[in-house]
Amino acid sequence: MANGIERLVFIGMLFSIQNILMVQSQQQVPCLYVFGDSLFDNGNNNNLSTTARANYYPYGIDYGNGNEPTGRFTNGRNIVDYLAEFLGFEHPIPPFANATRDDIQNGVNYASGGAGILNNTGINLGERIPMNYQLINHRLTSLRLVNRQNLGKCLYIINVGSNDYINNYYLPGSQTSTQFTPGEFADILIQNYTAQLQTLYNLGARKIAVFSVGLIGCVLQMIKSHSPPTGSGCVDSINYAVILFNNKLKELVVQLNTQIRDATFTYIDSFAISTSGNLIARGVKVATAPCCMVSTITGQCAENPTKPLCNNRNEYVFFDNFHPTSIVISATAASAYNGLSPLIVNPINIHDLALAILPTKSLY
């Protein structure tokens, strides 16, 4: 792995946000449905009995009017917030936990911190909403829609899989890594993910963007807990395991696009985005420490910090030991929405997916 800032998770973005298409004044899709983990969660875990929540200071310090800990695992907006803005949505997509009947007509965010592809992923954190249960929640939502035919025109975005490694396979003391090789575990994840994507299709989804797992071997908490060899900035073995999964996920997207003719799946390569850009040009300088004081137990921001929060948050890669700052997140969203390289978006970016005209057939 490369050394320095360019080797870290989430950080090697295409940072030329000024080159992104202007934020759309007209909504590009009738609704946006979101699935995933803490990178997408905007409040679904707030009332759960879990350590994977972010509804307390200093999370949200730069959100809205300032100091609004809504449940987003960063200092400001998350990826979904930026994507919703790029797509022309007037308001952020609401969390399923408190979405009203009127809200759900424009979309719902089902993502849950600590969630994984597997149901038992993240059990060490407490309550969370695994991908299978997020799909159940979406089924409930679909039954409440005024116009269910819109489901095929809506956009579906998924970011899941990181916790299956962080809070399952590579969890200290976990037996999963002794039972399965990295390749075998990747196969298990893909088998389950395939069924989940098929379920989503059966529920009416036709425009689906799937984010890969990023460079989680370069996350501060993983470096701390797995002690990479001297001279290596990341835990290379973890990143290599992630590559196995991502390659299989990319193949799955190709397979689904071949087999399902009235839908389009696209692959957003978070791993490639993480190694493709130059943070230094954006003024980001700190890549080896979090912005907030972190809990020694959870690796997230401490609820009652005894040390001040960093003031120069736009110079930090990580807000806590797991999650990036909002400036890094904004660039991730920009690459996913407007990226042109097939190494990052394949076969198309989210902007083109939203505008794609697909063959239609009655869903109900």
Q: Which residue numbers are catalytic? A: 38, 320, 323
CA 307 to chain centre: 29
Yes or no: say if 118 and 330 are a contact pair by the CB < 8 Å rule.
no
Q: Are 107 and 34 in contact (CB under 8 A)?
A: yes
Helix (H, G, I), strand (E, B) or coil at 87: coil
Q: 266 φ, ψ to 5°?
A: -130, 150
Q: How far apart are CA 34 and CA 228, in angstroms?
A: 34
Find where tokens 């009017």 sit: 65
Q: Which burial class, exposed, middle or buried, applies to 93 when counting CB atoms under 10 A from its CB (0-12, 13-18, 19+)?
A: buried
Token pair for residue 49? 């009995």
Nearby residues of 59 by Cβ (< 8 Å), 6 or more positions away: 69, 70, 71, 72, 73, 74, 75, 301, 319
CA dihedral of 13, 15, 19, 24, whole degrees rounded to 10: 70
Rounded to whole angstroms, how far apart are CA atoms 262 and 250? 19
Q: Is the CB of residue 233 less than 8 Å from the CB of residue 7?
A: yes
Token pair in block for residue 135:
């799909």
CA angle 85-323-128, nearest 5°? Answer: 90
Place of tokens 């979904």: 80
Pairing of strands 155-159, 345-346: unpaired
List CB contacts of 12: < 8 A, sequence separation 6 or more. Answer: 6, 273, 274, 275, 276, 277, 278, 279
